[in-house]
């Protein structure tokens, strides 16, 4: 038994000694430095710009894919776009409506101010014309008081044939400044009844005063028509403003 174990140990030692040279590696040969590649100006610039040799094309493609996924392919993105579009459209419409309303109010205020100014000017003109008429009446009455009456009967006959419809007596009085329509000056019939007969010059003055009185009447009629038209325009403008505010 001892002999067998010795033979086995010897065989194992021989086999191990025969395998050792085959597993040993040869010594490494001395490495030579690789020849350095020459770089041009463009390669040098690219090396400075991108020293890590990063692929920016792939990075841009990845960013584009992420952007498409978060925007076009996302339903919440389209819902937000629709909501913001409706909000912008509503805000724009509201601004336009407010601007149009402001313009309408400015135009209405200008029209009302113009109508009011025209009415004030017309009222001032009426007062001025009434004062002129009162001055003419006072001048004529003063002239009638100072003239003699030699031809009272002849004047009464001629004036009775020309103006039979006038029945008033006495001299005309002054018209108040707030009166709506000035009265006509004293007629020749009144002059006859008061015992005063005008001369030729006074008749000319009377004719002139009557012409001026007629002109004043026409002017007053025109002013009244203008006031009525202004009042109608003002009422229409007020109704239009009420309609716009109600709308």
Domain parsing of the chain, residue ranges? 87-149+170-246
Residue 74 near residue 207 (C-beta atoms within 8 A): no
Q: Are 204 and 188 in contact (CB under 8 A)?
A: no
Please, what is the average pLDDT of the chain?
73
Best CA proximity match to 143, nearest among 185, 181, 83, 98: 185
10 versus 121: the higher-pLDDT residue is 121
Does 221 have pLDDT greater than 90?
Answer: no
At 94-124, the pLDDT tens digits run 999 999 999 999 999 999 999 899 889 988 9
Residues 6+ apart with CB under 8 A from 18: none
pLDDT, tens only, 32-70: 555 555 567 777 787 778 788 788 888 899 999 999 988
Q: What is the pLDDT of residue 166?
A: 44
- Tens digits of residue pLDDT in 157-188: 555 555 544 444 444 444 444 444 444 444 44
Cα–Cα distance, 131 to 138 (Å, whole number): 11
0.75 cut: is pTM over it? no
The helices-and-strands tally (H runs, E runs) of the chain is: 7, 0
């Amino acid at each position: 038994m001892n002999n067998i174990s010795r033979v086995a140990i010897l065989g194992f030692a021989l086999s191990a000694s025969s395998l050792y040279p085959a597993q040993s590696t040869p010594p490494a040969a001395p490495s030579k430095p690789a020849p350095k590649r020459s770089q041009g100006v463009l390669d040098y610039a690219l090396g400075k710009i991108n020293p890590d040799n990063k692929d920016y094309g792939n990075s841009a493609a990845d960013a584009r894919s992420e952007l498409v996924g978060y925007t076009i392919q996302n339903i919440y993105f389209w819902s937000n776009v629709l909501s913001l579009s409706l909000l912008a459209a509503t805000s724009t419409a509201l601004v336009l409506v407010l601007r149009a309303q402001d313009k309408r109010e400015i135009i209405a205020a200008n029209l009302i101010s113009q109508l009011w100014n025209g009415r004030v000017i017309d009222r001032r003109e009426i007062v001025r014309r009434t004062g002129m008429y009162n001055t003419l009446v006072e001048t004529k009455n003063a002239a009638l008081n100072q003239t003699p009456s030699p031809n009272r009967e002849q004047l009464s006959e001629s004036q009775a044939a020309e103006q039979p419809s006038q029945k008033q007596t006495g001299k005309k009085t002054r018209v108040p400044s707030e009166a709506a329509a000035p009265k006509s000056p004293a007629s020749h019939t009144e002059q006859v009844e008061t015992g005063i007969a005008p001369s030729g010059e006074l008749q000319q003055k009377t004719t002139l005063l009557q012409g001026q009185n007629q002109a004043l009447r026409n002017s007053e009629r025109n002013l009244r028509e203008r006031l009525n038209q202004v009042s109608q325009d003002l009422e229409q403008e007020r109704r239009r403003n009420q309609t716009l505010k109600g709308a």
